[in-house]
Structure 1
């Protein structure tokens, strides 16, 4: 299924997957694919249209009609385009974060997104992060990582990100939202959040991004050298 080298990084919301994956991609010179951003883009579009987020047929049709593109600048910052519009900041708005799990759990939407994600991984070495990359999207990935952290640690990181964007959200509210998202992601009938049997589980609660990246880089050099 995987024609080139690939690294799958899965884990719950706020564990630092995107930051770690982006830095790994920069160091290795590989393509970074943020699968969560793709579901966020569809969620943003559905919210803008006022669609029922439990209507699977409507959301699947929306996913099929939507054009999602990713570009990487020289600093490996990823920009997300939805139908030609730069939605990099818009997909991180609190409203999108609160609703994305409802969209991502729909089998029809996942089928469309997984197909596109696999296509992206066919021609280049990739680092892909998400919820089910190692279990569903790229089950043959050369290295599978499950990056996690305590709900409190993840909520603090999320709060810092939101404050940088000008949003002030109480920590206790973020902890509750993260716990609910964990529940939804872990209990969805299709591709629930869970480590692949052969995944390397890393708890980043008390680790810096640099420490996590160094740990993984050492493993990558041994695995792919």
Structure 2
């Protein structure tokens, strides 16, 4: 499941995985965890060499979460980072960190290792085009910038983050869309054989039901 920031990928992917009894892989959380590390160590987000060295010393763990707010628990060296990686600061910098070739290579290798086991629902921005190009089912979720900004504002409110205006969030999302779509390494693109779903005005349950229907139809034809 691919798509731009705020399209609803994480929440939907988690529900789809749960209903189909498959493993859920949140690749975006992995990039957020690295971004949190970079900020914690005071490293500039454009210093790829320093970031690559930092990444080599840490291991990211993803485990099922018992907290209803989070589908997965993100751990680095035994520390739970579920709340930290979804802060305004991390959200503002994750695209810059994720654009570095060395970071993507390290995390994609780990993601593909998990994928070799099969039975996986993965979400991100380059899953169907780069991480798992041979996936049997590819979905591309999209939504208007206005809708995605509203969702992001609600996320921040639930996390107790400082109030951010919709106008500022819309600007940040537009900037991130541009960065994600124009980066040299694995840009955000819809795979040629992906099914696109616009989630404007749809609930998570409705989007989940659409994807499961598409999945069952495609799998029946294999």
TM-score range, shorter chain: over 0.9
Written as runs of structure 1 = structure 2, the 5 A alignment for 1:18-57 is 18-57=10-49
What CA distance in whole angstroms lies between the structure 1 residues aligned with 2:197 and 2:58? 34
* Residues paired across the two proteins, number: 217
Residue 70 of structure 1 aligns to a residue in which SS? strand
Aligned to 2:55: 63
What CA distance in whole angstroms lies between the structure 2 residues aligned with 1:134 and 1:150? 21
What CA distance in whole angstroms lies between the structure 2 residues aligned with 1:39 and 1:166? 22
Is the Cα–Cα contact under 8 Å of residues 25 and 127 in structure 1 kept in the other structure?
yes
Compare 19-28 and 119-128 and name the one that shifted more. Answer: 119-128
Structure 2, unmatched stretches of 5+, are none
2:110 matches 1:107:
no
Aligned counterpart in structure 1 of residue 133 of structure 2, from 132, 139, 150: 139
Compare 181-190 and 60-69 and name the one that shifted more. Answer: 60-69
CA RMSD after TM alignment: 1.2
What CA distance in whole angstroms lies between the structure 2 residues aligned with 1:220 and 1:152? 28
2:197 matches 1:202:
yes
Aligned counterpart in structure 2 of residue 212 of structure 1, from 174, 189, 207: 207
Structure 1, unmatched stretches of 5+, are 1-8
What CA distance in whole angstroms lies between the structure 2 residues aligned with 1:78 and 1:117? 15
Q: Give the C-alpha shift of residue 206 in structure 1.
A: 2.0
Q: Give the C-alpha shift of residue 137 in structure 1.
A: 0.2
Q: Give the C-alpha shift of residue 83 in structure 1.
A: 1.5
Written as runs of structure 1 = structure 2, the 5 A alignment for 1:100-179 is 100-167=94-161, 168-179=163-174
Residue 65 of structure 1 aligns to a residue in which SS? coil
Structure 1 runs (4+) greater than 3 angstroms displaced: 73-76
- Please report the TM-score for the alignment, with normalisation by the length of structure 2: 0.95
Question: Structure 1, residues 168-213: CA drift from partner, whole Å, max 9, x if none?
Answer: 1111111111011101101101110010011111111121111111
